[in-house]
Amino acid sequence: MTETSEIEGMALTFSLQGETFAIPVTYVDEIIDPLPVTRAPNADAFAPGLINVRGAIAPFVDLRHRLGMKPAGPCATSRVLVLDLVVGGESTKVAMMADAVDDITETNLSDLEPVPELGVRWPTEYLKGVAKKDGALIILLDVEATFAPTTSH
């Protein structure tokens, strides 16, 4: 197996509101301590501001808002995930807050179970599937759908 294919099968797990989510590591540029967010006037609630990441300005997105969770500020274990995404056909750095970064784990898309229509608190259009690891559930985000720009404010 090549290094590239090994990386493609890995996901970063992180916590939000006591739940474990995952995104493929291929999207993760870096993990940093929380930074001040500059609020942007008339910004969408999902992307309320900007942060300065090593001299580069990156949109700061509120994943809690996208998933319908209660707002929360940073805590002692919070980290900012800086993601490298394609938005509007261009590579873009995007930052999001996690309550904690947990682990890097192997993901096998064939082992993912579909997201059930009932009993899920989050909009299913942002979820790729559910995996089990050590008796716990990990929700794999559909990165393209989750971080797609919205047009409402």
Angle at 122 between CA 121 and CA 126, to 5 degrees: 160
Q: What per-residue confidence (pLDDT) applies to 153?
A: 43
The larger pLDDT score, comparing residue 8 to residue 82, is at 82
Confidence band of 7 (pLDDT split at 50, 70, 90): low
Spatial CA neighbour of 79 closest among 38, 51, 105: 51
Res. 18 pLDDT band, cuts 50 70 90: very high
Domains of the chain, each with CATH number or no CATH: 3-146 (2.40.50.180)
Return the pLDDT at 86.
Answer: 87
Predicted confidence (pLDDT) per residue in 38-85, tens digit: 998 888 888 889 999 999 999 999 999 999 998 888 889 999 999 999
pLDDT, tens digit, 9 for 90 and up, residues 109-146: 667 888 877 777 788 889 998 888 888 889 999 998 99
CA 91 vs. chain centroid, Å, equals 16
| Confidence band, pLDDT 50/70/90 cuts, at residue 151 | low
Does residue 16 surpass a pLDDT of 70? yes
pLDDT of residue 2: 44
Q: How much is the pTM?
A: 0.86
- Per DSSP bridges, beta strands 100-106 and 127-133 are unpaired
Distance of CA 55 to the CA centre of its chain: 22
What is the C-alpha separation between 108 and 96, in angstroms, rounded?
24
Map 2-70 to HEC letters: CHHHHHHCEEEEEEECCEEEEEEHHHEEEEECCCCCEECCCCCCCCCEEEEECCEEEEEECHHHHCCCC
Read off the tokens for 77: 């274990």
Token pair 């050590």: residue: 134
- 105 HSE (CA, 13 A, CB side): 21
Rounded to the nearest angstrom, the gap between the alpha carbon of residue 138 and the centroid of all alpha carbons in its chain is: 13
Q: What is the pLDDT of residue 82?
A: 97
Q: Look-up: residue for tokens 């301590």? A: 33
Write out pLDDT tens, residues 73-121. 888 999 999 999 987 788 999 999 999 999 998 877 667 888 877 777 7
